[in-house]
Chain A
Amino acid sequence: MKIIVAIKQVPERDARIRIDAEAKWIDLRDVEFMMNESDAYALEEALQLKEAHGGEVVVLSAGPERVGKTIREALAKGADRAIHIESDDLAGYDALGVASLLAAAIREDDGEDPDLILTGLQSDDLGLGQTGVILAELLNLPHASLILKIEKTGSGIKVLRELEDGWFQHLELPAPAVLTIQSGNSKLRYATLMGIKRAKTKEVRRVTVADLITVDPGAKPADPVVQLDRVSLPSKQRTTQILSGSPAEAAAALVEKLQFEVRAL
């Protein structure tokens, strides 16, 4: 099986949030970066499929030079090779633009067509949750989202999809297909020393946006249709509300909070 996994490098989950000078993003000084969490699960699914059925896992990522570290981590965990779309200004594209670049890189990749394209469900930074689905549309492939398990069948694949409220569903679809993977379904593997050492010899092909457009002019991202105007800090920070009064009063207050503020009842 040839599986392409699109991964994104995002700021670490607990990075200190300070708005940058242009108020369009956070100040990235002193911020560490890591692999997007659901993409790590997508990678894990891909690696498990490779272990079961053979083939290769190709990692695809777009971004500046620092993305190389996340790509190496993916190679260390067992991916066979990688494609790095080098761009210092991905923020200038909208989701459709980024997906166009990814689609172009996939179409242009040497060798056979991929059997599966996996992405994480959504990114920890922008959280749009759309790249995988857009990719499917651009490549004219069937897709399924919120996937927990993938099984190879004779004619294609069978997947387990998560529905709301504790319901699940199986889907059957032909390969090739695009799947967006939900976090938490598998046990992630840790990067090992052996993996990192072996990763040094694995191929990382670097392409620029210009390269992609040269090969396929249709890949040129259109002007963004959706634009980020500005970012701001939410007015309410997380504080602890102590509910006082008699046990009955405090209990009633808590129930109200759970009902209307948390919306859990």
Chain B
Amino acid sequence: MHLAHAFPTSALCASLFATGLLAEPQHFSLAEKLLLIALIVASAWLFWKRFGVVVDKILHSRKDPGFQLFPIGKRVWDFFWEVLCQAKVIRERPLPGLAHAFVFWSFLAFALVTLNHVAVGLGIGFLNPAGAFGRIYYWFAAAFALACAVSIAGLFIRRFFVRPIWLSREGHAISYESGVIAGLIFALMATYLAAFFVTDSSLAARLLWWAHTLSLVVFLPLVPHTKHLHLILSPVTIFLSRGSFSQIPPLVGDEDFGLVTGKDLTQLVSLQAYSCVECGRCTEHCPAANTGKSLNPKEIILGVRGYLNEFGPTAEELLLGKYNSQEAAFQCTTCGACEFQCPVGIEHVPIIVGLRRGAVNTGAWEDSHGTKLFLAMERNSNALGMSSAERDKFVQKQELPIFDGSQEYCLWLGCMGGYDPKGREIISSFVEVMRYLGTSYGVLRKEKCTGDPARRLGNDLVFQELAESNLEMMTQQKVKKIVSICPHCVRTIQEDWKDFGAPPEIEHHSEFLARHHARLPHQNTGEKIVYHDPCYLGRYRNVYDEPRTVIAAAGTLVEAERNRERSFCCGAGGGLAFLGEEQGQRVSAVRAQELVATGATTIGAACPFCNTMFRDALASSGENSPRLLDIAQIAANQIKAAPSQ
């Protein structure tokens, strides 16, 4: 009894130990036992009736090409950190996330409780509440039950009274099934807690026991019929992720054109579609959904689920049809915020790109800007449709050395660096830095587009031709190390070209600058500089600090409201810089406003596309808009300002 004094006393705690251990009805009649068995069997059967169908659909989906289970270390870590510790769930939406975490942990904590509860009903209870282990364990479970009850009540209030829009689905704002499940969970916790206040032999205990049991047997079959299927699937989904962020699978054979019909859905896609919890964190961070477009990442995934439910994984109906629209699929900038936010391991970007592939590779996508882009890439090997002579002129004018295999770095200009006036300024600035450092580098005589816009839009024909042609050229030219000013080029060369060969090493110029930071002159003017994390550098490559190092040396670094892994896209990715943007507000305008609102006098960028998008958006801000500079320019300015050595 002295245990009660060792802990902070509250009437409840004291009463738990003083008055009661968990009450367990001691004797169940044969009729009751049979009833219990019947209920369990019925519940399990109803559960399997639906769950079996889902498992079946997943298993009958196509196998994922290129899926590697090993190395397994990262998978185990992700399982531990994301599933058991609920890290992302809590970090990205702290209060509701913590509440959910408590509910989840209660489920785990209750494992033995539930087993014992049923065993007791059959007369073979094994965990005596009065025993040494039993006391501690049941108290431990009770603490969780309390936390869970409070949490579920809070989440209920949030869903039904606060009603954040992200939780709603098109057409129905309130999810009644969530209410029912919440009620059941609350009932389970309440019946458990209440059992501490009654005695073993009382009628109350028996009633509570049956109430708890009924809650259980009703809860179980509801799971596969609702989004609560994630209870079972999401740990598997997180464990079986594709292996890296936004990894686009290869096409296999002559008949594979991407996600065209149900037959093309793979096991991972189906598994992910059924794991969706409808939490809306993806949509909450989506630049398209936030600017009035049709695209809603949650609806894309639920659309795949709806398709699977109605047509199944071997159907011939088009995926972009009843449940998902072509229009929405082509509004995605592939920024990855959705995939990054998803707490149950859904990988949205490969799915959206897969849907695009299905439309583009079969010619079903008819868009005048898209066609113009593809034709430009076919004819001129660059996304802008410019003559390569223009790039040659620039290289000559800037007196850039030609790469001949002897230099350490190959400086990749890319389409923006080679043809866009602003991109060229960034190159010129970076070249200044390299000259200052005495870095040995050269520029290739001929460059073709890395194929990024084609890759993200799903045109594998154009992408393959560009990737193969570039790889061949780089092998011939003996390119070993590349440095590039464009995160899209970096990503495409390092990851996407792997489908067709072994690409050379490549890094982004921010990584180069950070590494040489100590050798570069610093002139801190104290001015406020806000840094915008490019999607393809931040979320895609995990490079957040290096550009900040450069900026912090030149001024006072300020952060936008949405920064680092939550950075809000500039709107250019996914090939969208080349398409028309008709619906809603311009993504670039929204982000530009956010950056301007920080009060910074300079916006620091690290991607020529972000730079170009903001330049247009800032044009409407008038005379007092902040300067827009790439980090290369910020670094070069400090060289210029430094007293000569």
Whether A129 is near chain B, meaning CB under 8 Å from some CB there, is no
Sort chain A's interface into a size bin. 10 to 19
B388–A14 touching, CB < 8 Å: yes
Q: Which of B362, B381, B386, B446 contacts A192 (CB 8 A)?
A: B362
Whether A12 is near chain B, meaning CB under 8 Å from some CB there, is yes
Nearest B residue (CB) for A200 = B254
Q: How many A-B residue pairs have CB under 8 A?
A: 59
Q: Which of A99-107, A151-159, A182-190 participates in binding chain B?
A: A182-190
B361–A193 touching, CB < 8 Å: yes
- Count, chain B residues at interface, CB 8 A: 29
Nearest B residue (CB) for A196 = B461
Inter-chain CA distance A41–B541, complex, in Å, is 42
Set of chain B residues within 8 Å of A16, measured between Cβ atoms = 388-389, 392
A34–B379 touching, CB < 8 Å: yes
Inter-chain CA distance A14–B378, complex, in Å, is 13
Set of chain B residues within 8 Å of A14, measured between Cβ atoms = 380, 386-389
Inter-chain CA distance A197–B388, complex, in Å, is 29
B375–A190 touching, CB < 8 Å: yes
Assess A191 versus B461: contact at CB under 8 Å? Given A14-B388, A14-B389: yes
B375–A197 touching, CB < 8 Å: no
Least distance between A198 CB and chain B CB atoms (Å): 9
A13–B378 touching, CB < 8 Å: no
Inter-chain CA distance A153–B105, complex, in Å, is 75
Assess A194 versus B379: contact at CB under 8 Å? Given A14-B388, A187-B368: no
Whether B360 is near chain A, meaning CB under 8 Å from some CB there, is yes
B257–A193 touching, CB < 8 Å: yes
State which residues 159-207 of A face B: CB under 8 Å: 187-197, 200
Assess A190 versus B459: contact at CB under 8 Å? Given A14-B387, A14-B388: yes
Inter-chain CA distance A189–B360, complex, in Å, is 11
Assess A12 versus B379: contact at CB under 8 Å? Given A191-B461, A193-B361, A194-B361: yes
A194–B363 touching, CB < 8 Å: yes
Set of chain B residues within 8 Å of A13, measured between Cβ atoms = 379-380, 387
B380–A194 touching, CB < 8 Å: no
Set of chain A residues within 8 Å of B366, measured between Cβ atoms = 187
Inter-chain CA distance A247–B170, complex, in Å, is 59
Inter-chain CA distance A189–B367, complex, in Å, is 10
The 9 closest A-B pairs by CB, nearest first: A14-B387, A190-B374, A193-B361, A193-B461, A192-B363, A194-B362, A193-B460, A197-B254, A190-B371
Chain B contacts to A: CB under 8 angstroms: 251, 254-255, 257, 360-363, 366, 368, 370-371, 374-375, 378-381, 386-389, 392, 446, 459-462, 464
Apart from A192-B361, A194-B363, what 13 extra A-B contacts exist at CB < 8 Å? Answer: A13-B387, A16-B392, A187-B366, A188-B375, A189-B371, A190-B378, A190-B459, A192-B360, A192-B363, A192-B461, A193-B362, A193-B464, A194-B361
Q: 24 A-B residue contacts at CB 8 Å?
A: A12-B380, A13-B379, A14-B386, A14-B389, A16-B392, A34-B378, A34-B379, A187-B366, A187-B368, A188-B371, A188-B375, A189-B371, A190-B363, A190-B370, A190-B374, A190-B378, A190-B459, A190-B462, A192-B362, A193-B257, A193-B460, A195-B363, A195-B461, A200-B254
